[in-house]
Amino acid sequence: MSDRPGDMAQRVCIVGAGVVGLACALQLQARGYAVTLVDPRPPGEYCSLGNAGCFSRASCVPLGLPGAWKKVPGWLADPLGPLSIPWRYAARIAPWLWRLHKASSLDQVNRIADALHPLLDRSIDAWVPLAQRAGVPELVVQNGYAFAYRSESAFLGDGLGRELRRARGVSIEVLTGGEVREFEPALSKAVTHLVVLPEQGHCPNPLRLSQALAAVLHAGGARFFAGKALGFEHREGRANRVLTDAGQIDTDHVVIAAGAHSGELAKALGHVVPLETERGYHVMLSAPTVVPKVPVMSGEGKYFCTPMEGGLRIAGTVELAGLDAPPNYSRADALVALSRNLFPDLAFGKLERWMGHRPSLPDSLPVVGRAPRVPNVYFAFGHGHVGLTAAAPTGEIIAALVAGDEPEVDIRPFDISRF
């Protein structure tokens, strides 16, 4: 593998130690590369910390669906609704929303689902060996999850999503009436339909998963460099040095996995990408009186109630307000009220609130692949709502590319040149 003098291992510098950067690092280390992760934060403590924990193999359904724009005014008007756009950010986000709208025709949606499905469907198969290597097999649980609807019309309204999934082989069971409470006794009698996806999975502690990956990387000789990457130095058309606010890192290859901040680094390499942050919130409820046996998502509210090691996590919502605005924790508090629509008997001890930045592109596809203009730089960002799910398969792809192998998943739809 090595072409360096003295047959030393080639060096890869990974910018960003979120779950995506960590999974790339572990796959690269397994192939014999000497990896350095550069991040101003401790591993896994940014967006990867607070997600809903779902390994959503079936999430090939993009954010923009035909006719979805008709629901937007209602969502925006509802303070408990799944979408919020502060007026001061509306002009800034408009071009991104326009791109999202253009990606929401039926043809586009099918194209996106075809591209995403092979990536996401590998999730659990790719995660199991990583979690085993990190000594935490208990953090990849595959016992399914469910979508709960409180009316026939809401259930029917998500029909296209079910069609897209079924057409790609996803197993789906629809429960109604008494079957709903037989499956999950704590669910409200108002839940009329429960859509169970038995092949999905979840991680009961996403932060502990990232930390376990970091520990095994460290034990294998990986270097964790505390700093913010600012740009690159180039020699003979290749990036040979990463410049940071804490010094420079000489390297043979670079992977950009800086989540919602990757756009600035792509720009330094000559690529402008419409990367936005879809801010999401969670509340973590300790000592909950109700713990569903699998994660349950509200079909209407689009938030997940996930059983976690530290209690019950209610996570979701989309707030389009950029990277710099302070969190609006009333969005998190709303999740508590909403969760009682599904679990009316829910009581709990303490409550912790969190906000995180999903790294999102308007066509719901990530950017994964080689930088067209600098052949030793690789992109691994923009996984939006499915970054935990896609991290392990993305790590496999990046390790294959760096080694000069053909990835098993078709990555052409994830090319940065599509923008």
Ligand X SMILES: Cc1cc2nc3c(=O)[nH]c(=O)nc-3n(C[C@H](O)[C@H](O)[C@H](O)COP(=O)(O)OP(=O)(O)OC[C@H]3O[C@@H](n4cnc5c(N)ncnc54)[C@H](O)[C@@H]3O)c2cc1C
List contacts with ligand X (CB under 6 A): 15-21, 38-41, 46-48, 51-54, 56, 228-229, 257-261, 280-282, 315-316, 356, 358-359, 381, 383-389
Nearer to ligand X, 11 or 282 (CB): 282
* Residue 369: strand pairing partners: 379
Residues contacting 320, CB < 8 A, separation 6+: 83, 84, 85, 89, 93, 96, 97, 276, 278, 279
- Count each helix (H run) and each strand (E run) in the chain, helices first: 12, 20
Alpha carbon distance 276, 69 (integer Å): 18
- To ligand X, the closest distance from the beta carbon of 210 in angstroms equals 8
- To ligand X, the closest distance from the beta carbon of 78 in angstroms equals 18
- To ligand X, the closest distance from the beta carbon of 307 in angstroms equals 13
Q: What angle is formed at CA 25 by the lines to CA 39 and CA 398, rounded to 5 degrees?
A: 115
Nearer to ligand X, 64 or 192 (CB): 64
- To ligand X, the closest distance from the beta carbon of 48 in angstroms equals 3
Alpha carbon distance 93, 109 (integer Å): 21
Nearer to ligand X, 144 or 280 (CB): 280
Nearer to ligand X, 192 or 396 (CB): 396
Strand, coil or helix: 51: coil
Residues contacting 79, CB < 8 A, separation 6+: 330, 334
- To ligand X, the closest distance from the beta carbon of 394 in angstroms equals 9
Please name the residue that has the structure tokens 């520990």: 215
Nearer to ligand X, 22 or 164 (CB): 22
- To ligand X, the closest distance from the beta carbon of 126 in angstroms equals 13
Q: Using CA atoms of 386, 322, 254, 129 in order, give the dihedral in degrees to the nearest 10.
A: -20
Nearer to ligand X, 52 or 109 (CB): 52
- To ligand X, the closest distance from the beta carbon of 398 in angstroms equals 12
Question: What separation, in Å, do the N-terminal and C-terminal C-alpha atoms of the chain show?
Answer: 33
- To ligand X, the closest distance from the beta carbon of 34 in angstroms equals 18
Nearer to ligand X, 186 or 256 (CB): 256
- How many other CB atoms are there within 10 angstroms of residue 181's CB atom? 15
Ranges assigned E (strand) in 155-228: 173-176, 193-197, 201-202, 223-225
Concatenate the DSSP letters of all residues of 120-169 into one string. HHTHHHHHHHHHHHTT-GGG-B-S-EEEEESSHHHHHHTHHHHHHHHHTT
Alpha-carbon distances, residue 77 vs 84, 305, 332, 337 (angstroms): 9, 24, 17, 17
- To ligand X, the closest distance from the beta carbon of 255 in angstroms equals 11
What the block records as the tokens of 419 is 């923008």
Nearer to ligand X, 151 or 227 (CB): 227
Nearer to ligand X, 192 or 281 (CB): 281
